[in-house]
Amino acid sequence: MILTWLLIIPLIGGIAAWLAAKRSELASRWIALAAVTADFVIALVIWVQNPVKLASGVRLAETKIPWAPQFGLTYHLALDGLNLLLVLLTGLLAIVSVACSWKEITQRVGAFHLTLLALITAILGTFLAFDLLLFFFFWEAMLIPMYFLIAIWGHENRRYAAIKFFLFTFLGGLFILLGFLGIFVYSGKGTFDYDALMGTVMPARAGLLFMLGLLFGYAVKLPAFPLHPWLPDAHTEAPTAGSVVLAGLLLKTGAYGMLRFAIPLFPGASREVALYVMAFGAAGVLYGAILSYAQSDLKRMIAYTSVSHMGFVLLGIYAGTTIALQGAVLAILCHGLATGALFVIVGIVQERTGTREFSKLGGMWAVTPKLGGFTLFFALAALGLPGLGNFVAEFLVLLGTFPVSPTLAVIGALGLIASVIYALWLVQKAFYGPNVNKLQAHDLNVREIATLGVLAALLLWLGLHPQPMFDAAKNPLTVVEQSLPAGDQHE
């Protein structure tokens, strides 16, 4: 039942925070923080107490209860090394989201925390579900609280961005449902249970169509080029916590869906389209980097960097080699930490100065040196500075991709070079140069230093000692690797 508690705790915490806000907004904030911290601690304890199971590939925990047997539904949650990493990331970024909203959210504080923690519950359910319809339920449930986070607590064009986000991702979800229904029908087993459906044999054309449905739905959420148009608007208009969760967690559900469902359930069809998907991934790396450089809004720039970095994830997943898959998983984690931190920084900059426009910034280092130092650190992480986790992740993706497609590896490397330009441009325009606009702002407080410091320390640790992440994800990734034999994909 420990997995059920991982879902219940943030939901109960959100309800309690909502009720407490009627008497004390501060109590609401502390209750929300306590709930997400408890979830993170539980996941961390599971990690620490199960080194043997992690190494052997045995599931760390599992709950399987008949739900509606006549319809083939089971309440099936499971935890292995791959989704444990994502549950840990979810817990950590949930803490960051509550912390960065401490002063930013002043209206409907209780409702905000209820919405945020309901979103966290749905994300955790997506990572833990091993019944296809249960997964789809949580997948669609994510859309509702995210819509309200943007539409209610967002910025000027929040309603347009919220509707755009909802329409794109809801449409993608419908294609996922069609894919799940297809494998349910062809399996003939009368169940949506993941384990029972593994190895289902179906006609090649049907398998390809259903797999493409899953791939399309996950690619929208990733988002893969050219299915990304909803992302910049959603990021730009969302509150800081919404942007942190969106970049750090929601996008990762798309990558997780590919690793857990699209490829293992349809190995033959996935092998058939792998090289084409890799091409879209490489194009996204370069496209996102170039578009980032062209932005005049600090938050919008960082939004486009997500398109670039998630292109690396897509490239690594479908390259299918051990090294590329390890790089893709590490990129998922490091992007969540680094980009989440950059969105926190944007929120701080906007709170202090009232603007995100580069033309109105500049010279901030003189008045906020601590903020400038952290911005430089996370910008260097985004460009792939050796010693930090992003470098290891992207280097492994390129190294693992090269034997499969040297051309796509080179294109990906060009995107990595382009990231140097936009990352240094970000720091130069916002923090260096003369303070011509005479900006006056107080530097980071203890809460903000602690939040950014933890994320920085983790990126450094992942850059110097990534092996525990590789060991945890090894066995689940073996299934993906066996479904995508790299030898079949050589140019």
Q: Is there a single domain that holds both residue 312 and residue 340?
A: yes
What pLDDT score does 491 carry?
A: 44
What's the CA gap between 254 and 306, in Å, rounded? 13
What pLDDT score does 432 carry?
A: 84
Is residue 294 assigned to a domain? yes
224, 244, 265: which is the final residue of a domain?
Answer: 265
What's the CA gap between 426 and 292, in Å, rounded? 10
**Is pLDDT at 490 greater than 60 in this prediction?**
no
Sign of the alpha-carbon torsion through 321, 325, 331, 332: positive
Q: Is there a single domain that holds both residue 360 and residue 472?
A: yes
What pLDDT score does 489 carry?
A: 46
Instruction: Report the pLDDT averaged over residues 311-331.
Output: 94
The answer to whether residues 31 and 13 touch, using CB atoms and an 8 Å cutoff, is: yes
Per-residue tokens: 2: 């420990």
Q: Is there a single domain that holds both residue 211 and residue 91?
A: yes
Q: What is the pTM of this model?
A: 0.94
What's the CA gap between 310 and 27, in Å, rounded? 37
Q: Is there a single domain that holds both residue 416 and residue 398?
A: yes
Is residue 489 assigned to a domain? no
Find the helix or strand (DSSP H, E) in which 61 lies. strand 61-68
Per-chain mean pLDDT for the chain: 91
Q: Is there a single domain that holds both residue 67 and residue 170?
A: yes
Q: Is there a single domain that holds both residue 279 and residue 246?
A: no
pLDDT digits (tens, 9 = 90+) for 109-160: 999 999 999 999 999 999 999 999 999 999 999 999 999 999 999 888 899 9
Is residue 30 assigned to a domain? yes
Instruction: Report the pLDDT averaged over residues 436-462.
Output: 88
Tell me the DSSP string of 352-387.
HHS--BGGG---GGGT-HHHHHHHHHHHHHHTT-TT
Q: Which residue has the higher pLDDT, 156 or 269?
A: 269
Domain count within the chain: 2
pLDDT digits (tens, 9 = 90+) for 356-395: 888 888 778 888 889 989 999 999 998 889 999 999 999 9
Find the helix or strand (DSSP H, E) in which 67 lies. strand 61-68
pLDDT digits (tens, 9 = 90+) for 98-114: 999 998 888 999 999 99
Q: Is there a single domain that holds both residue 140 and residue 158?
A: yes
The answer to whether residues 79 and 3 touch, using CB atoms and an 8 Å cutoff, is: yes
CA atoms within 13 A on the CB side of 312: 37
Q: Is there a single domain that holds both residue 185 and residue 326?
A: no
**Is pLDDT at 24 greater than 80 in this prediction?**
yes
209, 231, 265: which is the final residue of a domain?
Answer: 265
Sign of the alpha-carbon torsion through 109, 111, 114, 118: negative
Cα angle: 404, vertex 331, 480; to 5 degrees: 50
What pLDDT score does 156 carry?
A: 84
265, 282, 297: which is the final residue of a domain?
Answer: 265
Q: For residue 182, give Cα distances in angstroms to 233, 341, 397.
A: 33, 40, 32
Q: Is there a single domain that holds both residue 250 and residue 281?
A: no
Q: Is there a single domain that holds both residue 444 and residue 314?
A: yes
Sign of the alpha-carbon torsion through 196, 201, 206, 208: positive
Q: Is there a single domain that holds both residue 182 and residue 303?
A: no
What pLDDT score does 15 carry?
A: 96
CA atoms within 13 A on the CB side of 176: 26
pLDDT digits (tens, 9 = 90+) for 188-201: 888 899 999 998 88
Q: pLDDT-based confidence at 486, cuts 50/70/90? A: low
Q: pLDDT-based confidence at 487, cuts 50/70/90? A: very low
Instruction: Report the pLDDT averaged over residues 316-324.
Output: 93
Q: Is there a single domain that holds both residue 480 and residue 438?
A: yes
Is residue 161 assigned to a domain? yes
- What is the residue range of 244's domain? 1-265
Is residue 234 assigned to a domain? yes
Virtual torsion, Cα 291, 294, 298, 303, nearest 10 deg: -10
Instruction: Report the pLDDT averaged over residues 53-81.
Output: 86
What pLDDT score does 162 carry?
A: 93
What pLDDT score does 485 carry?
A: 65
Is residue 332 assigned to a domain? yes
Percent of the chain scoring above 90 in pLDDT: 68
**Is pLDDT at 462 greater than 70 in this prediction?**
yes
Q: Nearest to residue 246, comparing CAs of 230, 225, 259?
A: 230
Q: Which residue has the higher pLDDT, 162 or 440?
A: 162
Find the helix or strand (DSSP H, E) in which 77 lies. strand 73-79
